[in-house]
Chains A and B, each alone.
Chain A
Amino acid sequence: MPYSELIKNYDNIREYMREFYVYGFKSRDEYTNKSARSYDDSRRRIESWLLESMSFRNTSDGKTVFISMDSRQEGPNPLFKSWKAKSFTDGDITLHFILFDILEEASELTLKQITDSIDRYSEGFCEARVYDESTVRKKLREYEQEGLIVSRREGRTVYYKMCPKTPLPSKDLLRFFSEVMPCGVIGSFIEDKLDPSDPLFRFKHHYITGTMDSEVMLTIFTAMRENGILTVTTESRRGGTNTSELIPLKVKISSQGARQHLLAFSLKRARMISCRIDHITKISITGQTDLLPGARKKLQSMEKNIWGVTVGDHIEHVEFDVRYGRFEEHIPARLQREKRCGKVTVIEDGLARFEADVYDCSELIPWIRTFIGRIVRISFSNKRTEQQFRDDLTAMYSLYEGGPDAVQ
């Protein structure tokens, strides 16, 4: 097969996109689980789609390729383009436009009428392309499933017509929601129907890494809507895989860490679990369940103890006090707006306390560290976590104040 900038299977490109965008330091030789040709073709395709955002660097290990961009600066999410690169046959694209041309003005037509009409479209070409009735029927059925065409049976005859057209919302509305809603690439597909215009919106703290997981996300939402059971295969950090049956309950999206998790009830383990969506390599709906409402209710009762995405069996307590000055009211205000399931109390002028009961208090540590320089007291019920926190502070001090790795 000659090289094409289009691809048949998105899974083949998903990991390359993530590697180039999120990491961007690997050279060609380090992509060990793929062939050199697969790497070269994938790199060339991604360059073709994202030309303006691609960068290169030559290192002693070879050339590294990476996607370099500030998502606040960009127009529409450029990673959406990868979802617009599905390959097709010459016959597919020809039949597509001919079918819609035939159905555009007709009220409804039979399969035979449609097939007969196709012949006149060969006029002026050196060789005619012939479509038999079964090919046309298959395509019409496919489009019916996509919601583009409706059919009606009268006796043994089936009549086809185009679905009514929905008026499109404004480009600004589509642009905004494409960037902020799950499966936003669908909004981008709709936006493509409109003429280009200058963007009116830009986005700060804008994570677009989830773009590559849009199909996985779509399957999760479909299962939720249909009370489905998902069979999910995930890849662990160490390279192993794990397959489990899950009732999907809620997708947890981080606006600060770019990661998306599925909270689900595991049928095998009979407990709530949390699963990284970008670690899912295979996903399908394999059954139905009536347990979804009950499991969701259970999850709802657990929310008051979920800081991030960890669910568990036992609760840990964490509390800390922060000191702030006379003109630093933004500090207790920060605690209030960032407290999530925690509680904030002003103990006295210039001293505020945060406390929370959560499934895993280590999830709070990165956030607590943002108050470094102000923490006057801290206590974790999990003493190992507390010791880790204190050891890390000592290590940070050493890094900047004369330790062996200190910054000069």
Chain B
Amino acid sequence: MLFSELYGAYYNCVADLLKIAVRRPVTSSDIVRISKAKGFAETALALQRAFREEEYKLIRKDGTTPVTKEPSMPLTTLQKMWLRSVTLDPRFMLFGETIEGLEDVPPLFTSDDYDVYDSYADGDPFTDPSYIENFRRVLDAVRNKKTLEIVSSSGRGRTGRIVFRPDMLEYSEKDDKFRAVGMCADGPRVVNINRIKSIADTDESVTRKPAPYKNDRKVTFTLRDTRNALERVMFHFSHLQKEVKRTGKSTYEVTLCYDKDDETELLIRLLSFGPMIRVTSPDAFIDLMRDRIRKQSVLFEN
């Protein structure tokens, strides 16, 4: 069963509190700190009351416990089955890990049971040994904040050398690709793992701070809910920060926040909804839409 208290935030918080209580009395600030990390907004209050009123007979009023050992629960069968499915995924090899104790566990699902039907065909070669090696070098650099010297090719086939500190790995399910996001001496840089030709540690360092992801561009459009457009648009853009207002019986105003590097992609995604949406601001984005539609009109007239 998936929805079970065994996996619940309260059980996790109490387990962490008992880990403390077997060593020393639990304090009120322990409850607040652990609830903040693993619980919800009202968890600390609920746990304090539960211990104070002895509802859970696990921690006494003085913060001590009758429990003698740090709690640790084995994995459930469901958790093991999910992990077994993970080990069958081609991306599992990238991490260079083995998970013991799953030999007799059936997978929860296999690649025969599902597919991501609209991801792009030129995804990364996850089973290629040199790709795996490059991925692990970058992952190690992210973990240990190392700087790397990387020779890689650009989208246009040019080869270049950079001194690069990867701060994070970004994965896109649609592209089925990993990219390293980080810093060079001259500013932020993104490196496709599959375009790395060679990689090595370097003593050179990049001192610039990591650049935070910015979704500070906005586009606003009106949406006419015909042919189920409302649902399609809302689901399609559900991963972006957005605001939706109803403006009429079946019309809406939608504002999306996006990263400026994704503008062309967003443009064609908005075009895909045809006349159900009409971009209303900013003017520059309206011009981009108008330009494409005008060009198309000319092509069909000829």
Interface set of A (CB-CB < 8 Å, partner B)? 4-6, 10, 21-25, 47-49, 51, 55, 57, 59, 61, 66, 68-73, 81, 83-88, 90, 92-94, 96-98, 100-101, 104-105, 120-129, 146-148, 162-170, 172-173, 176-177, 179-183, 185-187, 189-190, 192-193, 196, 199-209, 214-215, 218, 221, 224-225, 237, 250-259, 296, 306, 308-309, 323, 330, 333, 336-340, 365-367, 369-370, 372-376, 390, 392-393, 395-401, 405, 407
Contact = CB atoms under 8 A, between A and B. Distances in A.
A124 B66 contact: yes
A122 B280 CA distance: 68
Interface string B115-136: 1111111100000000000000
B54 interface: yes
Given A48-B41, A209-B238, A97 B173 contact: no
Contacts, number: 400
A310 to B, nearest CB: 11
Contact of A88 (B8, B66, B83, B279): B8
Contacts of A259: 235
Given A172-B143, A181-B85, A225-B106, A252 B239 contact: no
Interface of A is mostly: mixed
Contacts of A202: 168-171, 181, 213
Given A205-B173, A218-B2, A250-B114, A147 B77 contact: yes
A93 B56 contact: yes
B118 A255 contact: yes
A215 B226 CA distance: 31
B40 A255 contact: no
B215 A166 contact: no
Given A61-B246, A337-B120, A340-B117, A147 B80 contact: yes
5 contacts: A201-B168, A206-B173, A207-B173, A255-B174, A374-B296
A70 B245 contact: no
B244 A24 contact: yes
A177 B231 CA distance: 28
A83 B7 contact: yes
A169 B97 contact: yes
Given A22-B235, A146-B6, A186-B79, A250 B293 contact: no
Would you list the 6 A-B pairs with minimal beta carbon distance, nearest first?
A: A147-B77, A395-B275, A373-B292, A88-B5, A251-B114, A166-B101
B242 A372 contact: no
B293 A397 contact: yes
Interface string B263-281: 0000011011111001110
Interface residues of B, number: 128
B260 to A, nearest CB: 14
A5 B40 contact: yes
Interface string B157-179: 00000000000111111110000
A149 B67 CA distance: 19
Given A92-B5, A125-B60, A250-B115, A204 B171 contact: yes
A200 B66 contact: no
Given A172-B139, A177-B91, A204-B171, 17 more contacts: A5-B43, A93-B14, A98-B58, A100-B73, A164-B101, A176-B91, A182-B109, A206-B172, A207-B173, A208-B238, A208-B239, A215-B3, A336-B121, A340-B117, A370-B272, A374-B296, A401-B294
Contacts of B235: 22, 207, 209, 257-259
B10 A93 contact: yes
Contacts of A214: 2
A25 B244 contact: yes
Given A203-B171, A372-B293, A90 B55 contact: yes
B78 interface: yes
Contacts of A193: 73
Contacts of A120: 66
Interface stretch (B146-154, B201-209, B283-291): B283-291
